[in-house]
Amino acid sequence: MTTPLNELTATEIVAAINAGRTTCEAVARACLERITAREPQVQAWQYLNPDQVIEQARALDQSGRRGPLTGVPIGVKDIIDTCDMPTEYGSPIYEGHQPSSDAACVALSRKAGGIVMGKTVTTEFANVHPGKTRNPLDPARTPGGSSSGSGAAVGDYMVPLAIGTQTTGSTTRPASFCGVVGYRPTWGDLRTARVMESSGSLDTLGILARSIEDIALYRDVLLGVEPVPIPDNVPAPRIGFCRTHVWPRLEPATQKLLEDAAQRLARAGATVEEVTLPADFEGLEAAHRWISGFEFARNFTWEIENRWGELSETLRNGRLKDGLACSYEDYASMRELVARCRHLLAPIIGNYDILLAASAAGEAPLGLNSTVHPWVYMIWTTMHVPSVTLPVFKGPHGMPIGAQLIARRSDDRRLFAAARWVYQRLAS
C-alpha cells in the first residue's frame, strides 16, 4: 500500500518527482482534494485558488526545472506578502489587499521549485484575536496561533510544509497543538523582508512540517544556500533538561511527559542533566510583554490613527494599550535585561548540544482562543535561540503535545541533528 501523495513529506515528494514516480500536478491535486474534503471543518485557508495552484504545478512539470523543493505545495501565513495572492494580515482593514511583490521567503520558496498553495489563516496582525481555524484533530479545540492555519494545514495533510512566524509562541504553539514539527530559527537568520512586522526585535519566521528532515531542507532554502542533509549517525547528544520557572504552571500530565522523556533519553544513551536558569530569567515574561507591546503599538500607528474602529477590542485593550502606556525608559531597561540574560545563557547552553523544555502547558484547550499560555514561550523567544518542537507526546485527551528542543544561536544544524536523534528515541 502506498502513502497517499498528500501525506508524503516534502523530502519524499521531491524524491518521487525527481525519480519520475509522480508529477507536480499530481501532488498538487492530491493536496487540493484533501483540502476540498477537509476545509469545511478545519478552515485553515484565508485564500486558496485551485486554478492558480494547478497552473504553477503544470508550469513546473512542463519546464522540467528542478530545485530542492520542486513540486512541494507550501502554505504561507497571511501576514507574508505574495505578488499573486491577496495578503490581508488577519484584519478587515486589509481585505483584498494585493502586494506587488513576494516576500523574500516566498520568492526563495518559488526559486527552489516550491508551489505556493495559498495563504493560511493568521490571528489579527499575528496577535491575539483568533481567526476561523479549528484544530484538525478536534474541531472543538484551538489549533494554536498565531500561525493557526499553517499548523492546521500541515497537521491535516493538506500541505507538507507551511511558513509561519513567531513573536511569542506563534509557531511552537500550533506545532505542539496540531502534532507537527515546528521550528523557530536563530533570530535574524531568515529574512523577514515584506513580512508584516509585529515586534521587530523578537519576530522570526517559523517553519511547520511533518519531519525534521523537511525542516532542515526548508531552512536551507529560506537561507538561500545549497541544502545540506542532516548527517547520519550523530552521537547521542548532551541534553540539558530545563524546567524553567514556569514549571509549576505546566499541567501535571505535561510535567510527567517531560520527566519521562528525559529519563528515556538518558536510558537511550544521552547525557541528561537538570539545568537551572539564573533568577534574572523570571523577569523575561514582563520584558517580553513590554518590549513587544512598545514595538507593536508603534508599528501600527497608521491603523490606530486611521482605522481604529476596525481593530478588534482584544487588540485595542491588549497589546496596543500596553504598548502605548510603555515609556522608552522602561522599554530600554527591559531590553537591557534581555541582553543580560542572553549573555548569561550562552555559557549555560554551551555545556549541551540541546536543552529540553516544554513546548506547551498541555494539550490544545477547548475553544478557539489560539494564543494561550504565552509565558511558556516568552523566555526562549527573547533569547533569540533556535528551537524545534517535536510531536512526541500524547496528553490525557489523546491530543498531541510537543517537546521543545533549544540550541545555541546560529547552531541550528546541530539542533536538527540532535532533534532527529531525540525523535527516533521518543516517537514510538
**Binding residues vs a second copy (CB under 8 A):** 83, 94, 97, 100-104, 106-108, 110-111, 188, 191-194, 196-197, 200-201, 223-225, 295, 297-306, 324, 327-328, 332, 335-336, 410
Distance between CA atoms of residues 140 and 27, nearest Å: 30
Active-site residue identified among 91, 109, 119, 146 = 146
428: annotated active-site residue: no
C-alpha distance from residue 27 to each of 23, 58, 108 (Å): 6, 11, 20
Q: Which is nearer to a second copy, 232 or 305 (CB)?
A: 305
Q: Reduce the secondary structure of 297-324 to three states and give it as a string.
A: HHHCHHHHHHCHHHCCHHHHHCHHHHHH
Active-site residue identified among 148, 170, 198, 199 = 170
Cβ–Cβ contacts within 10 Å for residue 67, how many?
Answer: 17
| Least Å from the CB of residue 44 to a second copy | 25
C-alpha distance from residue 201 to each of 35, 78, 123, 198, 267 (Å): 35, 20, 20, 9, 39
Q: Which three cell numbers stand for residue 405?
A: 528542543
Which segments within 50-140 are labelled E, that is strand? 73-77, 115-120
Active-site residue identified among 77, 91, 176, 211 = 77
Distance between CA atoms of residues 16 and 26, nearest Å: 11
| Least Å from the CB of residue 345 to a second copy | 14
| Least Å from the CB of residue 248 to a second copy | 33
Residue 53 is given by DSSP the state H
Q: Which is nearer to a second copy, 64 or 302 (CB)?
A: 302
| Least Å from the CB of residue 34 to a second copy | 29
Start-to-end Cα distance in the chain: 21
Q: Which is nearer to a second copy, 87 or 142 (CB)?
A: 87
Residue with cell 500541515: 154
Q: Which is nearer to a second copy, 114 or 402 (CB)?
A: 114
Q: What would the DSSP string read from start to end of 210-238?
A: SSHHHHHHHHHHHHTS---PPPSSPPPPE
Q: Which is nearer to a second copy, 103 or 405 (CB)?
A: 103
Rg of the chain over CA atoms, in angstroms?
20
77: annotated active-site residue: yes
Q: Which is nearer to a second copy, 156 or 303 (CB)?
A: 303
| Least Å from the CB of residue 421 to a second copy | 22
| Least Å from the CB of residue 157 to a second copy | 29
Q: With H, G, I as helix, E, B as strand and everything else as coil, classify residue 93.
A: helix
| Least Å from the CB of residue 410 to a second copy | 5
Distance between CA atoms of residues 253 and 420, nearest Å: 24
Residue 213 φ then ψ, to 5° = -65, -40
321: annotated active-site residue: no
Q: Which is nearer to a second copy, 299 or 369 (CB)?
A: 299
Q: Check if the beta carbon of residue 262 is closer than 8 Å to that of residue 241.
A: yes
Residue with cell 545540506: 228
Residue positions annotated with a catalytic role = 77, 146, 170
